[in-house]
Amino acid sequence: MFAKLSLLSLLFSSAALGASNQTLSYGNIDKSATPEARALLKYIQLQYGSHYISGQQDIDSWNWVEKNIGVAPAILGSDFTYYSPSAVAHGGKSHAVEDVIQHAGRNGINALVWHWYAPTCLLDTAKEPWYKGFYTEATCFNVSEAVNDHGNGTNYKLLLRDIDAIAAQIKRLDQAKVPILFRPLHEPEGGWFWWGAQGPAPFKKLWDILYDRITRYHNLHNMVWVCNTADPAWYPGNDKCDIATIDHYPAVGDHGVAADQYKKLQTLTNNERVLAMAEVGPIPDPDKQASENVNWAYWMVWSGDFIEDGKQNPNQFLHKVYNDTRVVALNWEGA
């Protein structure tokens, strides 16, 4: 009925890692990547061009798909957001790490985004309450000033404090031998998040600070690093990205495949990176992906109404997608 997710076999079979006739193969940008992180990237490369890996953001929406469609998405999307110190200070709580570990136990793939609450200066007004604190309009935090004070300023140190807080959660996953698709600082060119509010240069500097702090200072290497832009001015570079992605929210009922964006990313990455849809509203039709040769490696439907309202992704269409032999989902019998 659907393609079997076989990540587990890759973790323990060096023969499987070398047995593919894939056309795109490269190592992790982190040369110290764990065996699990290496296997995760290799697995996605193995599927690239022949299968489309299904994903669903948020455990409640993931459960909805399993219950109502009868098939479980391969990728679970979770968010580090409420581990941000500014969120914790306002009472934020999270079970994301527990959800991730549980999904890994199902032989699933985990993708983590971080809606990073600004380290300080949340407006916390009636119009811009604290829980919108990752939006540019809800904070007076200036990322350009923070990353350019040469490590001596208060705001730079607050950036490190926040990264350290997320590193502590990544360490829990590392200790459980769980690899993740890690997509920090997403949608930067939009400017609606504070990390993209002052242009590409501060964003790229923050990317480097975050990568260095997590991999070198905290010695954590269980991540496949996912970039999230098709804009050349904002792309960190192939040497800093394992997978290049876009977020795509077309009109209701539009199950097109964003061929123009795919071609832009191919050019941007010189056809040297796996390309994927890190967030979608309507799912791209696998028939159109195949006929137009637009091989997004995976897609991740956003949560709530995007999957459950019957309009963005009607149930009949979801059944079609999840029963397509080209779509990778969890195979409970084989897990």
Catalytic machinery residues: 187, 279
Pair of tokens at residue 199: 């242009």
Alpha helices for the chain (secondary structure H): 7-12, 14-17, 35-47, 59-69, 85-89, 96-105, 143-147, 154-175, 200-212, 259-268, 286-291, 305-308, 315-322
Nearest-angstrom CA–CA distance, 121 and 227: 27
CA separation, residue 128 to residues 91, 122, 123, 135 (Å): 17, 8, 6, 9
How far apart, in whole angstroms, are the C-alpha atoms of residue 140 and residue 133?
10
Q: Residue written as tokens 């997590």?
A: 214
Measured in degrees and rounded to the nearest 5, phi and psi for residue 55 equal -145, 150
Name the nearest CA neighbour of 208 among 185, 174, 231, 192: 185
Q: Is residue 333 exposed (0-12), middle (13-18) or buried (19+ Cβ within 10 Å)? A: exposed
| Residues comprising the chain, all counted | 335
Pairing, β 243-248 against β 274-280 = parallel
User: What values do phi and psi take at 211, rounded to 5?
Assistant: -60, -45
